Amino acid sequence: MDTKRLILFVVFSFSILLLWDTWQRKHTPVAEVATQQDASVPSSQKLNSIDTKTIALDSNFKLETGSRIKVATDLYQIEIDTVGGDIRRLLLNNHLADNAQDKFVLLDDSQKPLFYVAQTGLIGNDLPTHKSMFTSEKTNYVLENGQNHLDVKLSYKNQDVEVSKIISFDRGSYQIAVRYEITNHGKSAITPSAYFQLVHDDGSAQESKITPTFIGGAYYNEADKFKKINFSDMKKRDLSLISVDGWIGVVQHYFASAWILPGNQKREFYTKEVAENIYSSGVLTQLPSIQPGEKKEFSTKLYSGPQIQEELEKAAPGLSYTVDYGWLTFIASPLFMVLHWIHKLVNNWGGAIILLTVLIKILFYPLSAASYKSMAQLRELTPRLQSMKEKFGDDKAKFQQAMLELYRTEKINPMGGCLPILIQIPVFISLYWVLMGAVELRHAPFMLWITDLSVKDPYYVLPIIMGISMIIQTKLNPAPTDPMQAKLMMIMPVVFSVFFFFFPAGLVLYWVINNILSILQQWMINRSIHAAALAKKGNAARK
């Protein structure tokens, strides 16, 4: 294999791996899950009960609206509707919208274009569902300075039961607690079930074609680990899975919402098409029996906010998988930990990316050196190879034989530059997904014109610099003996630069720094090999 084929092989191998990884993350099918029968969850209280009472398919689907209760905390601006006590709107104070002007709205029932609400309800004995009307003593709640906890209480009552739904917020936490207090005023025992669901449309789930990301349902338990469910899969079939642990929710680029039940409470995860292009992801669980005159409580929590690793890990086991690094998680997670640690030192995500790139380059220095040494040796042979090509003309067999003989004589392995680079490819792909998935980089400034590392360079300066650096690298590599392939090698940097015009600035920054460091290393090795070759020629001439 000559130099030009080696370079093309490495480049296309990396491209194929990256494309395959992207496809795999986007199209991994969800295994069909059969409903498991369990004596502790009666069939009458399973998903079919919700079908008939609460979320039946409705072509004219429309949420009923009561009055709104507004809640303001240090992290949220929230609107709760008295119909069902739904969270109908959730705005994140510390995160900006894509336009960088307004605050980011994670949940909203406006359908312009987003439809995304959090609902809960009880089933059995005329208990309140998400369609029932609650009352509240106040219409505005504020987490005041110096206050660390805030309760929003909604009430429901009929002749047999009295229910309080308390939604609680804690300062500095993206975990929202939901507690039901149920009092039985009737003459017979009641055995309620509770459901907690997120309802989302698929019309607002638009993806970038250049850097596709996932939005849809997801769940986690110890048995199945982390699973994603596309809205298209929800349309084809309902999920119904009995579990004793885990959570279910909706994930998207940078943000997640998930219902998290306590302890080993048995539960049924479900997904369902609620209406045309509207889907629910939820969990149903049976509550303890409540005797006449008895009062019982049940609590759960909703995580709804950014995919910050520390916050996700505190909320629930497996929730950190919503920052999805795909099949290279075992490499990507430690990389992000190092990146996060560096950021704490320099307090700039762009600076952290640069320093992490330097650390990775140092780690792989021996492998890179072996690759560049092989390419430098091939570079020294280029004039002789060109002379041989002219000598043998169209006789490719003799040219190949003579070329291999030259490699043996000079003790050069033309594949020596390939394996070291291939070994590094999984690390490069992992870092790609780390920089793509880190919400910390969203709207994070670097310097000068780079005010957001998660979007493209507005003036395309970094992609142009990257293209120039790739051209310099091409010049440092052995020149192909075929003029057509030599032109192709010169065109490739331009093609890659245009491709990177649409990539986030943080990713392009990594490639620019990596290329600059590679150029320095390659130049030093080329210089050393060239000096050794000149010395060898001098010694041969004196003999």
pLDDT at 476: 72
User: What digits encode the pLDDT tens for the residues 232-279?
Assistant: 899 999 999 999 999 999 999 999 999 999 988 899 999 999 888 899
Co-location of 59 and 106 in the same domain: yes
Report yes or no on 334 lying in a domain. no
- Across the chain, mean pLDDT equals 81
Give 57's contacts (C-beta < 8 A, 6+ positions apart).
273, 274, 275
pLDDT value at residue 404: 72
Instruction: Between 421 and 93, name the one with better pLDDT.
Output: 93
Say whether pLDDT at 141 is over 90: yes
Residue 60 lies in a domain: yes
61 and 83 belong to one structural domain? yes
Q: Which has more pLDDT, 474 or 164? A: 164
pLDDT at 44 (0 to 100):
37
Decide if 42 is inside a domain.
yes
Q: Are residue 269 and residue 145 in the same domain, yes or no?
A: yes
Rounded-to-integer distance, Cα 422 and Cα 139, Å: 61
Residues 219 and 178 in one domain: yes
3-state SS assignment for residue 103? strand
Whether 498 shows a pLDDT value over 90: the answer reads: no
The arithmetic mean of pLDDT across residues 49-66, rounded, is: 56
Q: Are residues 41 and 184 in the same domain?
A: yes
Final residue of a structural domain among 260, 289, 324: 324
In this structure, are 277 and 405 located in the same domain? no
> Sheet containing 247-252: which strands, arranged edge to edge?
149-157, 161-170, 175-184, 295-306, 255-260, 247-252, 216-221, 225-229
Instruction: Single out the residue of 85, 222, 90, 104 nearest to residue 156, CA to CA.
Output: 85
188 and 311 in a common domain: yes
Which of 24-28, 279-283, 371-375, 496-500 is most confident? 279-283
Together in a domain, 10 and 62 = no
Per-residue confidence band for 211, with pLDDT thresholds at 50, 70 and 90: low
Do 295 and 182 sit in the same domain of this protein? yes
Res. 469: pLDDT tops 70: yes
Considering the domain architecture, whether residues 298 and 415 belong to the same structural domain is answered as: no
The token duo for 186 is: 């009737």
Contacts of 454 (CB under 8 A, 6+ apart): 441, 442, 443, 444, 504, 505, 506
Q: What is the CATH number of the domain that holds 126?
A: 2.70.98.90
- Select from 269, 299, 324 the last residue of a domain: 324
Query: How sure is the predictor about 20, in pLDDT bands with cuts at 50, 70 and 90?
Result: very low
pLDDT at 368: 73
Confidence band of 176 (pLDDT split at 50, 70, 90): very high
Structure tokens at 187: 């003459």
Q: What is the pTM of this model?
A: 0.81
Note whether residue 183 is domain-resident.
yes
pLDDT of residue 276: 84
pLDDT at residue 485, as a whole number: 62
Q: How confident is the model at residue 470 (pLDDT cuts 50, 70, 90)?
A: confident
Q: Give the percent of the chain with pLDDT over 90.
A: 44
> What is the rounded distance in angstroms from the CA atom of residue 194 to the CA atom of residue 290?
13
- Minimum mean pLDDT range among 74-78, 366-370, 398-402, 535-539: 535-539
User: So what's the pLDDT on residue 367?
Assistant: 74
Is the pLDDT score of 23 beyond 90?
Answer: no
Residue-wise pLDDT for 325-359, tens only, equals 877 888 888 999 999 999 999 999 999 999 999 99
Residue in the structure block whose two tokens are 């086991």 = 317
Count structural domains, the chain. Answer: 2
Model confidence at 53: pLDDT above 80: no
Last residue of a domain, one of 267, 289, 324: 324
| Same domain, residue pair 243 and 380 | no
Distance CA 137, CA 166 (A): 12
**Domain span including residue 164:** 31-206+213-324
Is residue 335 included in any domain, yes or no? no
Question: Could you tell me if residue 381 is inside a domain?
Answer: yes
* Residue 260 shares a structural domain with residue 371: no
In-domain check, residue 24: no
| Mean pLDDT across 146-159 | 95
In a domain, 353, yes or no: yes
Does residue 29 surpass a pLDDT of 50? no
DSSP string, 334-380: HHHHHHHHHHHHHS-HHHHHHHHHHHHHHHTHHHHHHHHHHHHHHHH
